Amino acid sequence: MTILNDPVNAKLGDRAQLSYIASQAADARLNVELETEGMTLNIGPQHPATHGTLRIIARLDGEQVLWAEPSCGYMHRGYEKLTEVRSFPQVTSLINRIDWLGSFANEVPFILAAENLMGVEAPPRAQWIRTILFELSRIANVSLFLGDLGVQLGAITPVFIAFRDREYVLNLIESATGGRFHPNFDRIGGLKDDLPAGWVDETKVVMKKLRNFCDEIEALLFGNEIFQSRTRGIGVIPRDVAMQYGLSGANLRASGVDWDLRRDQDSPMAWNKVDFKVWTHPDGDSFARCWVRLQETREATKIVDQLLDGIPAGPVMAKVPKIIKVPEGEAWVSTENPLGEMGYYVVSRGDSGPFRVKIRSASFNNISITPWLLRGVYVPDIITILASLYFILGDIDR
């Protein structure tokens, strides 16, 4: 590490990190001299900071974590098995409960996989509306993260501001799809329905509000010196480690890896029709992860704005038989969901329902790095790191 070799000329942020490392080292020395008894702290499964039922077993020395391990499965709902006894149209109503904050985004990869197997492609209008709703659910998801981040770090106000402004997005999703959280709007071959009149103009107004929300959160939280001192240099994931642990989404981009499936992958969605920036951050610390998400929310509002201007006219449903039978075959489709890469491996045996579905959800891989990341940090940093890694319990346990 360069700052250890040259501490005098280090930048301010690096110095904070350096002093943190030094204090940890000093603590370690002290602990060798004074034999102290450790303590095992169970954070969860019922705990205010785990947004669900994640359990972190932490072995503490004072307030310092010797090792920590996540223990998940308290909310396992068995989606992979449930899908096997459902028909293809029924599956979407289940799987949008996996990541319950960005639920429309869960349906898309599954539907794309089924379409892949059937050899149909949604008409362009359906693709554009899908992309818009996908980005809206990303905004709804990540804006709540930005508010929740405040709560995890002890600020109460951001979460209410986030709930307030997420409400506008949820209203949009509801007026288009009928479901606030669980749209179930995607169908094999297109969408259930077209957009209601006036929706486009309304969305543009809301996107302006959301950009304003991003500015407010930036002023309230990201600019705050306490927030910066709590997150900068905490939970640093180097580039190689992030790739080794299979992180995806903003967690990976915050470690400086320029990887975004929306841009890098050719999928029947409208992302390649608009230009957007993929934000990365070189630091890889908690602040970087939060900052990348903030910028992504901004970018998503811009993507929605661009898409709204160019929705092509036409049908929203391709020609598909009324009773859907998916031909034999296997397909893997993944998309860049709010939490990271989410993919479905669908195996069909020619029935009306899938034979086997493997769900790759982003959060499960994202929290797998926690034992590596939590070693040596303080108890408050556990919360910071977990908050900045950003997982949804349903996405971990499925």
Tell me how far, at minimum, the Cβ of 182 lies from another protein, in Å: 7
Burial 372-382 (b: 16+ CB within 10 A, else e): ebbebbbbebb
Identify residues 242-301 at the interface with another protein (CB under 8 A). none
- Smallest distance, another protein to C-beta of residue 290, A: 12
Q: Residues 169, 206, 383, 385: which binds another protein (CB under 8 A)?
A: 383
CA distance 109 to 308: 22
Task: Figure out which of the listed residues 47, 55, 204, 263 binds another protein, where binding follows CB under 8 A.
Answer: 47
Q: How far is the CB of 199 from another protein (least distance, A)?
A: 6
Nearest approach, Cβ of residue 257 and another protein (Å) = 28
Q: Least distance (Å) from another protein to the CB of residue 283?
A: 18
Residue 279 CB, shortest distance to another protein, in Å, is 20
Among residues 31, 224, 265, 306, the one that binds another protein under rule CB under 8 A: 224
Q: Which of residues 75-104 bind another protein (CB under 8 A)?
A: 86-87, 89-90, 92-94
Stretch that binds another protein, among 227-235, 251-259, 266-274, 390-398 (CB under 8 A): 227-235
Long-range contacts of 277-282 (CB under 8 A, 24+ apart): 278/253, 279/253, 280/253, 280/254, 280/256, 281/253, 281/254, 281/255, 281/256, 282/256
Please report, as residue ranges, which positions from 296 to 325 form the binding site for another protein (by CB under 8 A): 311-316
Which run of H or of E encompasses 330?
strand 329-337
Closest Cα to residue 298, out of 325, 285, 279? 279
**Residues 6+ positions from 69 with CB-CB distance below 8 Å:** 56, 57, 370, 371
Nearer to another protein among residue 228 and residue 368 (C-beta): 228
Least Å distance, CB 28 to another protein, is 14
Identify the residue among 229, 265, 306, 368 touching another protein (CB under 8 A): 229
CB-wise, 225 or 266, nearer to another protein? 225
Angstrom CA distances, 98 to 58, 357, 361, stand at: 27, 14, 8
Distance CA 151, CA 156 (A): 5
Q: Which of residues 135-194 bind another protein (CB under 8 A)?
A: 150-157, 160-161, 164, 167, 171, 174-180, 182, 184, 192-194
When the beta carbons of 97 and 356 are compared against another protein, the nearer one is 97
Question: What's the min distance (Å) between Cβ of 102 and another protein?
Answer: 17
Given the structure tokens 């010797």, which residue do they identify?
A: 66
Q: How far apart are CA 113 and CA 92, in angstroms?
A: 12
Q: Report CA 2 to chain centroid distance, whole Å.
A: 32
Contact track, another protein, 193-222, x by CB under 8 A:
xxxxxxxx---------------x--xxxx
Residue 48 interacting with another protein (CB under 8 A):
yes
Compute the distance between CA of residue 178 and CA of residue 96 in angstroms, rounded to an integer. Answer: 14
